[in-house]
Amino acid sequence: MATAISTATRPDASEHVPYYGKYIALVPEDHAIQALESQIADALALLRTIPESKGDHRYGPDKWTIKEVIGHLIDGERVFAYRALRFARNDRTELPGFDENIYVPAGAFGRRTIADLAGEWELVRRSNLAMFRGLDAEAWRRQGLANGNAVSVRALAFIIAGHGWHHVGLLRERYLK
């Protein structure tokens, strides 16, 4: 398995569209498994300090609530991990995009507690880590088409981590300041 983990390194720019480079750049680690693992403690430490009374807070009129941001993190991680699974398994079917602005209202995250959402995020992340740990070296390098763009499995792992850092940063800087 050492070979597979050493293949789970930072992707190069040819493995994703430029848009995702902003997320990948937020990941300090050079290995996907480390990046996904290390984020758990930091994100949960933040999420567990947010009082339930702030769950419906928005920093602007057209912005998501804190609960919706957490729900979006869950949905986004599931979608990116599903893409990674399909491509890792050598599925050549092109996958569609997803519109977070449709997913978030349909998720009705305001009916749930922050604690419940944080717990679900942790379970999704730990489940995805188990999947990623089981990949062999060849699977990490495979690519597929999602939303009309080529992306590698290892890029998707880094996109998950970077997307997490992006939204945790927004929670700290814009919601909880």
Task: Determine the pLDDT at residue 101.
Answer: 97
List C-alpha distances in Å: 92 to 24, 53, 84, 87, 121: 24, 46, 12, 7, 28
Reported as type and span, the H/E element at residue 152 is: strand 149-152
pLDDT at 12: 95
Annotated domain spans of the chain: 2-6+20-175
CA distances from 1 to 82, 131, 132, 137 (A): 22, 13, 11, 8
Global confidence as pTM: 0.95
pLDDT truncated to tens, each residue of the chain (177 aa)?
445 556 799 999 999 999 999 999 999 999 999 999 999 999 999 999 999 999 999 999 999 999 999 999 999 999 999 999 999 999 999 999 999 999 999 999 999 999 999 999 999 999 999 999 999 999 999 999 999 999 999 999 999 999 999 999 999 999 998
Range 2-6+20-175 classified under CATH 3.40.50.1370: no
Residue 27 contacts residue 11 (beta carbons within 8 Å): no
